[in-house]
């Protein structure tokens, strides 16, 4: 007697094996997707924070060197909670440019206007983005203080500026905003 029995899987065993394999693949896939999103978000958030820090460093350095304009106007030209305008010779050419920092949507921008031929600052401004993903949502970017550290709106009394940036690449989901703050005094206005 010759026993020719072949070992094979039944259809039910194959279907069960395929179902288990599919579930394992789906779970593994979800881990990959979540991990990729998390890594991407962390990289973007770190880049945004680094960019905002660099922007604050530039702002701090330029505000410290503020001075009156080439036409004799006061050092500070305009203030609001989202805009600050002043004069400084940032390119060291002997002429003071008009510098405007302002929040435009989710971007903190810088506009530089040269004095022009008649020192009237009516020329074309060069605009650059200092920081992206700024999400202040009603929180003032700029606050102004007098020599007694009291908040002021009077341009000629400002001695210190507080700058606050809320950085968040994806404000609609966690984690919350990363807050950067600094304060800047004017070197050329301290004794006034």
Residues sharing a CB contact under 8 Å with residue 33, sequence separation 6 or more, in sequence order: none
The per-residue pLDDT of the chain, averaged, comes to: 86
Q: What is the pLDDT of residue 46?
A: 83
Q: What is the pLDDT of residue 181?
A: 93
Q: What is the pLDDT of residue 6?
A: 65
Taking residue 175's Cβ as centre, other Cβ atoms within 10 Å add up to: 11
**pTM for this predicted structure:** 0.76
Burial of 135-164, coded b for 16+ CB within 10 Å and e otherwise, reads: bbeeeebbbbbeeeeeebeeeeebbbbbbb
Asked whether the predicted pLDDT for residue 192 surpasses 60, the reply is no
* Percent of residues, the chain, with pLDDT higher than 70: 92
Rounded Cα distance between 42 and 163, Å, is: 24
pLDDT tens profile 151-161? 998 988 899 99
CA–centroid distance for 28 within its chain: 35
Domain residue limits, the chain: 35-185
pLDDT tens profile 55-111? 899 999 999 988 888 888 889 999 999 999 999 998 888 899 999 999 999 999 999
Q: Band of the pLDDT at 174, cuts 50, 70, 90?
A: low
Residues sharing a CB contact under 8 Å with residue 120, sequence separation 6 or more, in sequence order: 71
131 strand-pairing partners? 108
Asked whether the predicted pLDDT for residue 7 surpasses 50, the reply is yes
**Strand 142-145 with 160-167, pairing:** antiparallel
């Amino acid at each position: 007697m010759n026993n020719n029995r072949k070992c094979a899987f039944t259809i039910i065993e194959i279907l069960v094996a395929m179902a288990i394999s599919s579930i394992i693949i789906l779970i593994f896939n979800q881990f990959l997707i979540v991990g990729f999103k998390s890594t991407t978000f962390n990289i973007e958030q770190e880049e945004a924070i680094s960019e905002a820090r660099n922007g604050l460093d530039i702002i701090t350095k330029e505000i410290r060197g503020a001075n009156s304009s080439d036409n004799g106007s006061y050092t500070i030209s305009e203030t609001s909670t989202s805009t600050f305008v002043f004069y400084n010779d940032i390119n060291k050419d002997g002429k003071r440019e008009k510098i405007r920092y302002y929040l435009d949507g989710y971007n903190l921008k810088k506009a530089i206007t040269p004095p022009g031929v008649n020192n009237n600052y009516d020329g074309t401004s060069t605009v650059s983005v200092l920081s992206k993903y700024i999400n202040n949502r009603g929180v003032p970017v700029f606050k102004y203080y007098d020599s007694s550290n009291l908040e002021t709106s009077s341009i000629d009394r400002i001695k210190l500026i507080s700058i606050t940036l809320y950085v968040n690449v994806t404000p609609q989901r966690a984690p919350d905003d990363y807050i950067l703050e600094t304060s800047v005094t004017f070197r050329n206005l301290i004794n006034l």
